[in-house]
Structure 1
Amino acid sequence: MIRTDAALLFQQLPHPNGEAALMQLHSLFFNRIFKLILSLVKQREPAEELASDVFMELWQRREKLSDIRNYEVYLYVIARNKAFTYLRQQLQLTDPLDQIEDFRLELARSPEDLLISSEMLHRIHMAINELPPKCKLIFQLVKEQSFKYREVAEILNISPKTVEAQMGIAIKKLGKAVAFSTT
Protein backbone atom coordinates (compact mmCIF):
# COMPACT_ATOMS: atom_id res chain seq x y z
CA MET A 1 0.00 0.00 0.00
CA ILE A 2 1.27 3.47 -0.91
CA ARG A 3 0.66 4.95 2.55
CA THR A 4 2.85 2.41 4.35
CA ASP A 5 5.55 2.71 1.67
CA ALA A 6 5.41 6.47 2.01
CA ALA A 7 5.67 6.27 5.80
CA LEU A 8 8.84 4.19 5.48
CA LEU A 9 10.30 6.65 2.99
CA PHE A 10 9.49 9.60 5.26
CA GLN A 11 11.28 7.86 8.11
CA GLN A 12 14.36 7.42 5.90
CA LEU A 13 14.64 11.13 5.00
CA PRO A 14 16.94 12.18 7.89
CA HIS A 15 19.23 9.16 7.36
CA PRO A 16 22.19 8.81 4.96
CA ASN A 17 19.98 7.40 2.19
CA GLY A 18 17.57 10.33 2.58
CA GLU A 19 18.07 11.71 -0.90
CA ALA A 20 17.00 8.40 -2.46
CA ALA A 21 13.93 8.36 -0.22
CA LEU A 22 13.09 11.93 -1.27
CA MET A 23 13.35 10.95 -4.94
CA GLN A 24 10.99 8.02 -4.37
CA LEU A 25 8.53 10.24 -2.51
CA HIS A 26 8.74 12.68 -5.39
CA SER A 27 7.90 9.86 -7.83
CA LEU A 28 4.99 8.69 -5.69
CA PHE A 29 3.40 12.07 -4.97
CA PHE A 30 4.51 14.74 -7.44
CA ASN A 31 1.64 14.27 -9.91
CA ARG A 32 -1.01 14.29 -7.19
CA ILE A 33 0.52 17.32 -5.45
CA PHE A 34 0.82 19.08 -8.82
CA LYS A 35 -2.86 18.40 -9.64
CA LEU A 36 -3.98 19.80 -6.29
CA ILE A 37 -1.89 22.95 -6.70
CA LEU A 38 -2.94 23.36 -10.35
CA SER A 39 -6.60 23.12 -9.33
CA LEU A 40 -5.98 26.03 -6.96
CA VAL A 41 -3.62 28.35 -8.87
CA LYS A 42 -4.89 27.59 -12.42
CA GLN A 43 -1.47 28.11 -14.02
CA ARG A 44 0.71 25.20 -15.08
CA GLU A 45 4.17 26.76 -14.69
CA PRO A 46 3.65 28.18 -11.18
CA ALA A 47 1.93 24.92 -10.16
CA GLU A 48 4.95 22.88 -11.28
CA GLU A 49 7.29 25.20 -9.42
CA LEU A 50 5.17 25.14 -6.27
CA ALA A 51 4.91 21.33 -6.40
CA SER A 52 8.69 21.13 -6.59
CA ASP A 53 8.90 23.58 -3.68
CA VAL A 54 6.82 21.16 -1.59
CA PHE A 55 9.57 18.57 -1.88
CA MET A 56 12.29 21.13 -1.24
CA GLU A 57 10.52 22.15 1.95
CA LEU A 58 10.12 18.51 2.92
CA TRP A 59 13.88 18.04 2.49
CA GLN A 60 14.62 21.13 4.56
CA ARG A 61 12.35 19.87 7.36
CA ARG A 62 13.53 16.24 7.23
CA GLU A 63 15.06 16.38 10.71
CA LYS A 64 11.75 17.53 12.24
CA LEU A 65 9.38 14.92 10.76
CA SER A 66 9.37 12.43 13.62
CA ASP A 67 6.22 13.99 15.17
CA ILE A 68 4.18 13.71 11.96
CA ARG A 69 1.45 11.07 12.18
CA ASN A 70 0.06 11.17 8.62
CA TYR A 71 2.81 12.00 6.15
CA GLU A 72 0.53 12.15 3.12
CA VAL A 73 -1.73 14.74 4.73
CA TYR A 74 1.40 16.62 5.79
CA LEU A 75 2.48 16.84 2.12
CA TYR A 76 -0.94 18.05 1.04
CA VAL A 77 -1.00 20.70 3.78
CA ILE A 78 2.38 21.99 2.61
CA ALA A 79 1.03 22.05 -0.97
CA ARG A 80 -2.14 23.86 0.06
CA ASN A 81 -0.18 26.44 2.02
CA LYS A 82 2.20 27.07 -0.88
CA ALA A 83 -0.73 27.49 -3.28
CA PHE A 84 -2.58 29.87 -0.96
CA THR A 85 0.56 31.89 -0.30
CA TYR A 86 1.10 32.16 -4.06
CA LEU A 87 -2.53 33.23 -4.59
CA ARG A 88 -2.32 35.82 -1.84
CA GLN A 89 0.85 37.23 -3.40
CA GLN A 90 -0.55 37.23 -6.93
CA LEU A 91 -4.19 38.06 -6.39
CA GLN A 92 -4.35 39.28 -2.79
CA LEU A 93 -7.33 37.01 -2.07
CA THR A 94 -8.85 37.24 1.38
CA ASP A 95 -10.62 33.85 1.29
CA PRO A 96 -8.98 31.66 -1.37
CA LEU A 97 -11.32 28.65 -1.04
CA ASP A 98 -14.35 30.77 -1.89
CA GLN A 99 -12.52 32.24 -4.87
CA ILE A 100 -11.43 28.98 -6.52
CA GLU A 101 -12.58 28.65 -10.11
CA ASP A 102 -13.63 25.42 -11.77
CA PHE A 103 -11.08 22.72 -12.42
CA ARG A 104 -11.35 19.48 -14.31
CA LEU A 105 -11.73 16.30 -12.31
CA GLU A 106 -10.35 13.22 -13.99
CA LEU A 107 -11.70 9.93 -12.73
CA ALA A 108 -9.51 6.85 -12.77
CA ARG A 109 -10.81 4.04 -14.98
CA SER A 110 -11.88 1.03 -12.93
CA PRO A 111 -13.79 -2.11 -13.93
CA GLU A 112 -16.98 -0.41 -12.74
CA ASP A 113 -16.28 2.56 -15.02
CA LEU A 114 -16.06 0.23 -17.99
CA LEU A 115 -19.59 -1.02 -17.31
CA ILE A 116 -21.09 2.45 -17.30
CA SER A 117 -22.47 3.54 -20.64
CA SER A 118 -20.85 6.50 -22.33
CA GLU A 119 -24.08 8.46 -21.83
CA MET A 120 -24.04 7.78 -18.10
CA LEU A 121 -20.34 8.67 -17.91
CA HIS A 122 -21.10 11.91 -19.74
CA ARG A 123 -23.90 12.69 -17.25
CA ILE A 124 -21.56 12.02 -14.33
CA HIS A 125 -18.86 14.32 -15.74
CA MET A 126 -21.43 17.04 -16.43
CA ALA A 127 -22.75 16.77 -12.87
CA ILE A 128 -19.23 16.93 -11.42
CA ASN A 129 -18.42 19.98 -13.54
CA GLU A 130 -21.57 21.69 -12.24
CA LEU A 131 -20.56 21.26 -8.60
CA PRO A 132 -19.51 24.46 -6.81
CA PRO A 133 -15.69 24.81 -6.85
CA LYS A 134 -15.16 24.16 -3.13
CA CYS A 135 -17.49 21.17 -3.25
CA LYS A 136 -15.72 19.82 -6.34
CA LEU A 137 -12.30 20.09 -4.70
CA ILE A 138 -13.50 18.26 -1.60
CA PHE A 139 -15.15 15.59 -3.77
CA GLN A 140 -11.87 15.10 -5.66
CA LEU A 141 -9.81 14.70 -2.50
CA VAL A 142 -12.25 12.21 -0.98
CA LYS A 143 -13.21 10.16 -4.03
CA GLU A 144 -10.17 10.41 -6.30
CA GLN A 145 -7.38 10.73 -3.75
CA SER A 146 -9.08 8.49 -1.12
CA PHE A 147 -8.55 10.85 1.79
CA LYS A 148 -10.73 10.57 4.89
CA TYR A 149 -13.00 13.48 5.76
CA ARG A 150 -10.82 14.57 8.70
CA GLU A 151 -7.73 14.47 6.45
CA VAL A 152 -9.45 16.66 3.85
CA ALA A 153 -10.48 19.02 6.65
CA GLU A 154 -6.87 19.25 7.77
CA ILE A 155 -5.56 19.74 4.21
CA LEU A 156 -8.04 22.54 3.45
CA ASN A 157 -8.05 24.02 6.96
CA ILE A 158 -11.82 23.60 7.35
CA SER A 159 -13.93 21.62 9.81
CA PRO A 160 -14.74 17.93 9.22
CA LYS A 161 -18.44 18.91 9.38
CA THR A 162 -17.89 21.22 6.40
CA VAL A 163 -16.30 18.35 4.47
CA GLU A 164 -19.24 16.11 5.41
CA ALA A 165 -21.75 18.75 4.34
CA GLN A 166 -19.97 19.41 1.03
CA MET A 167 -19.79 15.67 0.27
CA GLY A 168 -23.52 15.43 1.04
CA ILE A 169 -24.19 18.22 -1.45
CA ALA A 170 -21.98 16.56 -4.08
CA ILE A 171 -23.54 13.12 -3.66
CA LYS A 172 -27.06 14.55 -3.73
CA LYS A 173 -26.39 16.52 -6.92
CA LEU A 174 -24.61 13.59 -8.58
CA GLY A 175 -27.44 11.25 -7.55
CA LYS A 176 -30.02 13.51 -9.19
CA ALA A 177 -27.94 13.86 -12.34
CA VAL A 178 -27.42 10.15 -12.87
CA ALA A 179 -30.73 8.81 -11.54
CA PHE A 180 -32.22 6.13 -13.74
CA SER A 181 -35.55 6.85 -15.35
CA THR A 182 -38.37 4.43 -14.46
CA THR A 183 -40.31 5.13 -17.65
Structure 2
Amino acid sequence: MPEPDPLILTLQMDEATSSRFEDLRRRHFPAALNRIPAHATLFHHLPGGDVAGATETITALARTQAPPEVAVTGVRFTGRGVAYALDSEALSAFRARVAAAFRDDLTPQDRQGWRPHVTVQNKVAPETARALHAALAQDFSPAHFRAPGVLLWRYLGGPWERVATIAFGGTA
Protein backbone atom coordinates (compact mmCIF):
# COMPACT_ATOMS: atom_id res chain seq x y z
CA MET A 1 0.00 0.00 0.00
CA PRO A 2 1.45 3.39 -0.96
CA GLU A 3 2.27 5.89 1.76
CA PRO A 4 -0.34 8.68 2.06
CA ASP A 5 0.55 12.05 0.62
CA PRO A 6 2.50 14.07 3.21
CA LEU A 7 1.30 17.17 4.99
CA ILE A 8 3.00 20.56 4.81
CA LEU A 9 2.70 23.19 7.54
CA THR A 10 3.09 26.84 6.56
CA LEU A 11 2.72 30.16 8.30
CA GLN A 12 -0.50 32.06 7.75
CA MET A 13 0.29 35.71 7.05
CA ASP A 14 -2.01 38.68 7.47
CA GLU A 15 -3.81 39.70 4.29
CA ALA A 16 -1.59 42.69 3.41
CA THR A 17 1.66 40.72 3.87
CA SER A 18 0.33 37.72 1.99
CA SER A 19 -0.80 39.93 -0.91
CA ARG A 20 2.58 41.65 -1.09
CA PHE A 21 4.50 38.38 -1.28
CA GLU A 22 1.97 36.82 -3.65
CA ASP A 23 2.30 39.79 -6.02
CA LEU A 24 6.11 39.45 -6.02
CA ARG A 25 5.82 35.70 -6.60
CA ARG A 26 3.40 36.16 -9.52
CA ARG A 27 5.78 38.68 -11.13
CA HIS A 28 9.05 36.79 -10.62
CA PHE A 29 8.42 33.05 -10.23
CA PRO A 30 8.35 31.07 -13.51
CA ALA A 31 4.63 30.90 -14.35
CA ALA A 32 4.71 27.24 -15.40
CA LEU A 33 6.13 26.26 -11.99
CA ASN A 34 4.06 28.59 -9.80
CA ARG A 35 1.41 26.14 -8.56
CA ILE A 36 1.21 27.20 -4.92
CA PRO A 37 0.75 30.51 -3.12
CA ALA A 38 3.58 32.50 -1.52
CA HIS A 39 4.33 30.83 1.81
CA ALA A 40 6.79 30.32 4.65
CA THR A 41 7.19 26.60 5.33
CA LEU A 42 7.47 25.38 8.91
CA PHE A 43 7.50 21.67 7.96
CA HIS A 44 7.89 20.12 4.51
CA HIS A 45 6.75 16.58 5.31
CA LEU A 46 4.52 15.67 8.24
CA PRO A 47 2.87 12.24 8.16
CA GLY A 48 -0.27 12.29 6.01
CA GLY A 49 -1.90 9.10 7.25
CA ASP A 50 -3.80 10.76 10.12
CA VAL A 51 -4.88 14.24 9.06
CA ALA A 52 -7.34 14.57 11.96
CA GLY A 53 -4.65 13.60 14.48
CA ALA A 54 -2.07 15.96 12.99
CA THR A 55 -4.61 18.80 12.94
CA GLU A 56 -5.56 18.09 16.56
CA THR A 57 -1.93 18.09 17.71
CA ILE A 58 -1.06 21.31 15.89
CA THR A 59 -4.29 22.99 17.06
CA ALA A 60 -3.55 22.13 20.69
CA LEU A 61 -0.09 23.68 20.38
CA ALA A 62 -1.34 26.75 18.47
CA ARG A 63 -4.09 27.37 21.02
CA THR A 64 -1.47 28.24 23.66
CA GLN A 65 0.55 30.47 21.33
CA ALA A 66 -0.17 34.19 20.98
CA PRO A 67 -0.08 35.32 17.33
CA PRO A 68 3.66 35.88 16.84
CA GLU A 69 5.20 39.07 15.58
CA VAL A 70 7.35 38.22 12.55
CA ALA A 71 10.10 40.44 11.17
CA VAL A 72 10.95 40.55 7.47
CA THR A 73 14.69 41.08 7.87
CA GLY A 74 16.22 41.01 4.41
CA VAL A 75 16.40 39.70 0.87
CA ARG A 76 18.28 36.42 0.38
CA PHE A 77 19.92 35.21 -2.84
CA THR A 78 19.39 31.44 -3.07
CA GLY A 79 21.52 30.65 -6.12
CA ARG A 80 18.66 30.17 -8.57
CA GLY A 81 16.11 32.41 -6.85
CA VAL A 82 15.32 35.04 -4.26
CA ALA A 83 13.59 34.88 -0.89
CA TYR A 84 12.71 37.24 1.93
CA ALA A 85 14.21 36.24 5.27
CA LEU A 86 11.91 36.09 8.29
CA ASP A 87 12.71 36.14 12.00
CA SER A 88 10.57 35.50 15.07
CA GLU A 89 11.62 34.02 18.39
CA ALA A 90 8.00 33.18 19.23
CA LEU A 91 7.47 31.44 15.89
CA SER A 92 10.74 29.51 16.27
CA ALA A 93 9.64 28.37 19.74
CA PHE A 94 6.26 27.25 18.35
CA ARG A 95 8.00 25.34 15.56
CA ALA A 96 10.23 23.62 18.12
CA ARG A 97 7.13 22.47 20.05
CA VAL A 98 5.57 21.06 16.87
CA ALA A 99 8.88 19.36 16.01
CA ALA A 100 8.93 17.73 19.46
CA ALA A 101 5.36 16.48 18.98
CA PHE A 102 6.25 14.88 15.62
CA ARG A 103 9.90 14.02 16.41
CA ASP A 104 9.60 10.36 15.42
CA ASP A 105 8.08 11.24 12.05
CA LEU A 106 10.28 14.13 10.89
CA THR A 107 12.33 13.82 7.71
CA PRO A 108 16.00 14.86 7.70
CA GLN A 109 14.98 18.09 5.93
CA ASP A 110 12.63 19.01 8.79
CA ARG A 111 15.16 18.00 11.46
CA GLN A 112 17.88 20.32 10.17
CA GLY A 113 18.20 23.98 11.07
CA TRP A 114 15.25 26.16 10.15
CA ARG A 115 15.74 29.43 8.26
CA PRO A 116 12.26 30.88 7.72
CA HIS A 117 11.73 32.65 4.43
CA VAL A 118 9.24 33.39 1.66
CA THR A 119 10.50 32.46 -1.81
CA VAL A 120 9.43 34.90 -4.52
CA GLN A 121 11.61 33.49 -7.30
CA ASN A 122 13.08 30.03 -7.88
CA LYS A 123 14.44 27.79 -10.64
CA VAL A 124 15.74 30.62 -12.81
CA ALA A 125 19.23 31.27 -14.20
CA PRO A 126 21.63 32.52 -11.52
CA GLU A 127 22.16 35.80 -13.37
CA THR A 128 18.39 36.42 -13.44
CA ALA A 129 18.21 35.72 -9.70
CA ARG A 130 21.21 37.97 -8.99
CA ALA A 131 19.56 40.83 -10.88
CA LEU A 132 16.29 40.48 -8.96
CA HIS A 133 18.14 40.14 -5.66
CA ALA A 134 20.05 43.36 -6.35
CA ALA A 135 16.85 45.23 -7.29
CA LEU A 136 14.86 44.01 -4.29
CA ALA A 137 17.76 44.50 -1.86
CA GLN A 138 18.23 48.09 -3.03
CA ASP A 139 14.59 48.93 -2.22
CA PHE A 140 14.33 46.78 0.91
CA SER A 141 13.18 48.18 4.21
CA PRO A 142 12.53 45.93 7.22
CA ALA A 143 8.88 45.19 8.02
CA HIS A 144 6.85 43.35 10.63
CA PHE A 145 3.57 41.49 10.60
CA ARG A 146 1.54 39.49 13.08
CA ALA A 147 0.84 35.92 11.99
CA PRO A 148 -2.75 34.87 12.75
CA GLY A 149 -2.09 31.13 12.49
CA VAL A 150 -0.74 28.28 10.43
CA LEU A 151 -2.02 26.43 7.36
CA LEU A 152 -1.94 22.66 6.95
CA TRP A 153 -1.74 21.38 3.38
CA ARG A 154 -1.70 17.99 1.66
CA TYR A 155 1.07 17.68 -0.91
CA LEU A 156 -0.35 16.40 -4.21
CA GLY A 157 2.85 15.85 -6.22
CA GLY A 158 3.13 19.52 -7.21
CA PRO A 159 0.02 21.44 -6.20
CA TRP A 160 -1.15 21.55 -2.60
CA GLU A 161 -4.62 21.17 -1.11
CA ARG A 162 -5.42 23.13 2.05
CA VAL A 163 -6.82 20.83 4.73
CA ALA A 164 -6.89 23.14 7.78
CA THR A 165 -6.49 26.73 8.89
CA ILE A 166 -5.34 26.75 12.51
CA ALA A 167 -5.44 30.01 14.46
CA PHE A 168 -3.02 30.96 17.18
CA GLY A 169 -4.99 31.31 20.40
CA GLY A 170 -2.87 33.45 22.65
CA THR A 171 -3.94 31.86 25.93
CA ALA A 172 -0.36 31.11 26.99
Q: TM-score, normalised by structure 2?
A: 0.25
Larger radius of gyration: 1
Bigger share in helix: 1
Q: TM-score, normalised by structure 1?
A: 0.24
Q: RCO greater where, 1 or 2, for CA within 8 Å and sep 6 or more?
A: 2
Q: Which has the higher strand share?
A: 2
